[in-house]
Amino acid sequence: MAVAKFNAEAMEQCRSTVGAQAGQFGAVGDGFAGHYPDPDIFGKLANSGGLSAAAAELDTKAGAEFAAAESLLGEVERALDRIQGAVVDVEDANAASFRVV
């Protein structure tokens, strides 16, 4: 029984860690939202507009990648939660089968 308890604790620790990391990725991604630099900050260069557009595109893509990481880690957390529930159900059913006899 101690082995099952250890595994349940390890799965819970993994699930809670993944959940915390998902939130951190989301928070970082939120910092990228809507930053579109004015071309004038790059000076009077002929390509200031292009550099500004590239910086805005980087901002948009970085935000999207962090959002995707948050979503994926959220899915992992929910999957681990379902696994934990299934393991508990099986353990409960196994324990109940011994009581019936």
pLDDT tens digit string along 12-55? 999 999 999 999 999 998 888 777 788 888 888 888 888 888 88
Phi-psi region of 14 (alpha: psi -120 to 50; beta: other; left: phi over 0): alpha
Condensed to tens digits (0 to 9), the pLDDT of residues 65-78 reads: 999 999 999 999 99
**Are the C-beta atoms of 77 and 11 separated by less than 8 Å?**
no
pLDDT of residue 76: 96
**Is this prediction's pTM over 0.85?**
no
